Structure 1
Amino acid sequence: MDREKIAAHARGQNMRTQALQKQSAARVLSGKQIAIEHKIERLEKALSSLSKDLNHADTWKNELLKLKTKGTSGFHGSRRDKANDNVDQAIDKLNSWLDAHKENKEVMTKKLRELQDQSQNMHSKVLALNNEATVLFSSAAYFLNM
């Protein structure tokens, strides 16, 4: 009987050690998940700000297009052509800015999705590790109390 109790006690201690290791791993992953959540928050704010800037730039572009004189009223001849050229240059620069920042937005959106998936994956792993630790603690208690 003593050997069985000693073996059960050793098994219980081993399970308890495994449970503590799983809890520790869960805490580490939880810390990493929190760091990722902070990155997600910052990236969401940056994306929101960028979206607003892109919307404003589109509005500016539309307003610039209205400045282009097409009819006979307003500027005539070379003055009209010069004004239209200046508007065209401004629109070209704005289009370049818009294109570059739309690409940035796509990259940021992709990164956001990756971080969200990573966070969800870590959350699932933390839950699984905590569940495994709970089962191990319960089993350990059974063997330690034999």
Structure 2
Amino acid sequence: MDVVVLIGRVLFSVLFLGSAMGHFANADAMAGYAQSQGVPAPKAGVLVSGGLLALGALSVVLGLWADAGMLLLAIVLVPITLMMHAFWKETDPQAKQTQQIQFNKNLALIGAALMLFAFFAHTPELGLTLTGPLFDLS
């Protein structure tokens, strides 16, 4: 079971680590898009969100308070989802569909992160982690 959970933590985190790297490598382009979506202080938003995504994902991968990492990922995804994938504002049908798909994907990721937060916080000994949970939901 420990190895399966570790593999799951790694696979789940790959998406967020890749996204975080993209936030830093393409900060200017992403800030331009964020600005077009009405995000205040778009460059700072891109860099801060990238940092938080990296922090959450590394916490999960390393098993360093993985429950807190999952909760952080869920929290960070909420404003990203609402601000960056506001499909209800789109007038072009194809853009609307693309944004709705991204919005729904993020909703699923938020749900998964919340479930995994509860799982990690409820299970004091997962094995193959650097620490136990930060929160105690048992």
TM-score by length of 2: 0.38
Larger Rg: 1
Report which structure shows greater RCO (CA 8 Å, sep ≥6): 1
